[in-house]
Amino acid sequence: MSDNYLNKRKNVRLKGYNYASYGSYFVTICCHNKQCLFGRIPKEKDPGKRPQVILNDAGNMIGKWFKLIENKFKNIICDSYITMPNHIHFVIFNHNENPDTTHTSLENIVGWFKTMTTNEYISSVKNNNWPAFNKHLWQRSFFEHIIRNDEELFQIREYILNNPIKWSSDKLYVP
């Protein structure tokens, strides 16, 4: 990969915003190359039933590490989340009273989550015959949105809940 490529990467973070400060955040982290490693969403034959994510062991592991964020970062509260076949969406609340500490920055939280899940995934590839991934488990960056009010929080929670319904039209969908 050339240095020129790295210089052209778009920084998607809000300029001047302190991501270690008190706030609510919606985060999406995607598998590298959109690999569907965490489960599947079968097409529902009954039109009255909602499609559900059928997680495999790797998908359950992703959810386990999401819930452990609260243990690692004392000012963080985990809210809604969904593990999809090739990504995770979640909401966290940062109750950090001292935004000068970078320990609870969103980048540190996501970095820790990616490290822990990648390490366990690699171990399970070796020990439990999980499918191998190509070079990286996760894409290099992540999507974030600062949740500004209760109405946005409600809409994001609904989006997370209904994500399996829209899977086949999702931009992360891989048939």
**Domain spans of the chain?**
19-168
Predicted TM-score (pTM) of the model is 0.86
Average pLDDT over all residues of the chain: 87
Specify the range with the lowest mean pLDDT, choosing from 6-10, 23-27, 127-131, 158-162.
6-10
Reply yes or no on domain 19-168 having CATH 3.40.1190.20.
no
Report how far apart, in Å, the C-alpha atoms of 56 and of each of 53, 61, 72, 79, 131 are. 9, 9, 25, 22, 11
How much is the average pLDDT of 12-16? 56
Under 8 Å between Cβ of 29 and 114: yes
Residue 91: what are its φ and ψ, rounded to 5°? Answer: -120, 130
Specify the range with the lowest mean pLDDT, choosing from 36-40, 43-47, 125-129, 152-156.
43-47
pLDDT in tens, 126-150: 999 999 998 999 999 999 999 999 9
- Report residue 37 CA to chain centroid gap: 13
Q: What percent of the chain stands above pLDDT 70?
A: 85
